[in-house]
């Protein structure tokens, strides 16, 4: 019955470059269980494009999704660095410190930083 939350990956971002990202909260309808995930891709021209892709995927798995905000990620896989910055016009600024903690779970050997800079 249903996929466990653990089956949903914490992070799905492009392997390199600078791109938009969103922080999404997953919740079981009526349940206490909730979890935040990070999604980002160069393919998305706007932050809502990412959400429009994630939302139906997660609904199929039985989760309600809420976008907690967005920003940009600069992913340098060669130097193993990720920088989180900027904001989403539509969703507002994600709490980048939360995003960094989630990224650290996956990119354990990276230097990951954030700022409120626009670029």
Let me know: does 82 contact 16? Beta carbons within 8 Å. Answer: no
CA–CA gap between residue 97 and residue 116 (Å, rounded): 10
Of the candidates 47, 49, 75, 96, the residue annotated as catalytic is 47
Q: Flag whether 20 is marked binding.
A: yes
Q: Is 75 assigned a catalytic role?
A: no
Q: What angle do CA 110, 67, 34 make, to 5 degrees?
A: 80
CA–CA gap between residue 33 and residue 116 (Å, rounded): 30
Which residues carry a binding-site annotation for substrate? 20
Which residues carry a binding-site annotation? 20
Give me the active site residues, please.
Answer: 47
């Amino acid at each position: 019955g249903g996929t466990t939350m653990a089956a949903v990956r914490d992070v799905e971002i492009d392997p390199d470059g600078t791109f938009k990202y969103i922080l999404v909260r997953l919740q079981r309808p009526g349940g206490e269980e909730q979890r935040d995930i990070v999604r980002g891709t160069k393919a998305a021209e706007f932050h809502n494009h990412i959400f429009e892709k994630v939302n139906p995927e997660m609904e199929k798995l039985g989760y309600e999704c809420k976008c907690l905000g967005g920003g940009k990620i600069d992913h340098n896989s060669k130097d193993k660095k990720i920088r989180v910055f900027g904001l989403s016009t539509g969703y507002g600024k994600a709490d980048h410190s939360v995003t960094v903690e989630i990224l650290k779970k996956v990119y354990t050997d990276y230097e990951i930083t954030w700022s409120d800079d626009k670029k």
